[in-house]
Amino acid sequence: MATPSWRKFILFVLKLLVSGNTSLPHPAALPPVVQSSSPPTNAILKGMPWPIQRDGGGGGTVAGQHIINFSDTSTLNEDDKKKAGYYPFVSNTIVTTSAMLRQLGFQDGKTLTDYGSDGFAKQQWPFDGTETSTAGRRVGIWPDTNIVSACDGQCGYTVSSVVDISRIPPYHPTDLYSTLAKITIGADGPSVERVVPRMWYANEINYGLYGLARARDDSDDIFMFGAPKGAFGIKVARVAEDSIRDRSKYIFWNGKEWATTSPAANDASANIFNYRSGDYGVGTGDVFWSNYYNTWLAVFNDEFTVDDTFKLMYSTNGAITGPWSTVAQNVTVTPGCSGSDCAVSYNYNSHAYPDIDTTGKTLLLGWIYNGTTTQFTTITFK
């Protein structure tokens, strides 16, 4: 039976909304105001027959599918634990977020599909031949960054830390360098190619490690964000997509103009915005364009807050370089684990997932609870 014309029209409009091929005629007034937030819920896991524990985060859209990066991942396969004495473990994983009403293009962002075989989730980011473990230590690839769409939507770029870590608590990871990756999706799920195995080193500003975003002008540029320790704010570089692998093609915002040399890591005047709470600065989060407010938003947590209070700052004029708001707003509080059986009392790896609702009216937020569990809430702007 043919689809009625009225239904075709509704499907067409919904697809436009989901794909972002529309904009609000009258953007909401600044500053952003949160009207409500949903109760925190655990991610719904699919694709593997066992529970999965992990941390990390950061999402984006590749080939029309929303995906999320994760770091250390354990598959709670009891049979394998009996054989080996421990649960199957990998340094990182990537999930796709299962669709709701897939024929309309909706994705809830909270239903996560894992990929793997032989009893454990697949490690997606590969080690190179030199990244080998030594006695009492191991090398980890810990993605905790969003993914920016590229290749006309058919791939995504993202950045991850490569760390050297003790096998004994409290672990004390040491940053080695960042690595730039290109992500594609095929019949067997996501695939990661580390196109620059060593991008920025620990003594440099790790541009891209705090996030990536498309420029809003007529260029094909990608913004690469960094949040170096002691800077108490966010710095930004930009580069053409075709040159993203070439450090010599990057230009850097120095507080006044785009320049060919990077500012000093602790030069606060080169930040696009500043944030400080005592001795702590910007924690994990995301910088992204909001169609609802027609400007750039930054949503992040304090570098050290037990209750994981999400903060929000915004560009006052729609430019990535600002000026930005000077006071961070509290968006929502996600309580940490408080029982005697809690392994970790605080939440961490906080992220925003703006691709889930490209109208920008709502925003999905995620974090890691009790060191193992991905949780989400959705905030609705007024």
CA distance 27 to 24: 6
Q: What pLDDT shows up at residue 22? A: 44
Contact 298, 315 (CB under 8 A): no
94: part of which helix (H) or strand (E)? strand 93-99
pLDDT at 316: 98
**Which pLDDT score is estimated for 107?**
67
Over residues 34-43, the pLDDT tens digits come to 999 999 999 9
**What distance in Å separates the CA atoms of residue 137 and residue 21, rounded to the nearest whole number?**
48
pLDDT on residue 119: 83
Cα angle for residues 67, 72, 76 (degrees, 5° grid): 95
pTM recorded for the entire structure: 0.90
Q: pLDDT (tens digit, 9 = 90+) per residue, 70-98? A: 999 999 999 999 988 989 999 999 999 86
Name the region of 121 (left: φ>0; alpha: ψ -120 to 50; beta: rest).
beta
At 303 the pLDDT is 75
Q: Distance (Å, rounded) from C-alpha 162 to C-alpha 195? A: 14
| Residue 143 neighbours by CB under 8 Å, 6+ apart | 56, 58, 69, 70, 71, 92, 94, 125, 158, 160, 161, 181
Q: What is the DSSP string of 157-218?
A: EEEEEEEEEESSTT---EEEEEEEEEEEEETTEEEEEEEESS-SBTTS--TTSSEEEE-SSS
Residues (pLDDT < 70) of the chain are 1-26, 98-107, 305-307
Query: Which helix H or strand E contains 10, and what residues bound it?
Result: helix 5-19
Look at residue 252 in the predicted model and tell me its pLDDT.
Answer: 99
pLDDT at 307: 64
Pairing of strands 137-142, 65-70: unpaired
- Ranges of each domain in the chain: 43-202, 204-271, 285-382
Closest CA to 161 of 136, 131, 191: 131
Residue pair 239/262 in contact (Cβ under 8 Å)? The answer is no
Q: Which H or E run contains 282?
A: strand 282-290
Chain centroid offset of residue 154 CA: 18
pLDDT of residue 271: 98
41: CB partners within 8 A, 6+ apart: 110, 375, 376, 377
Structure tokens, 151? 């290749």
Position 305 scores a pLDDT of: 65
Omega before residue 31 within 30° of 0, cis: yes
pLDDT of residue 218: 87
Q: How many CB atoms lie within 10 A of CB 158?
A: 29
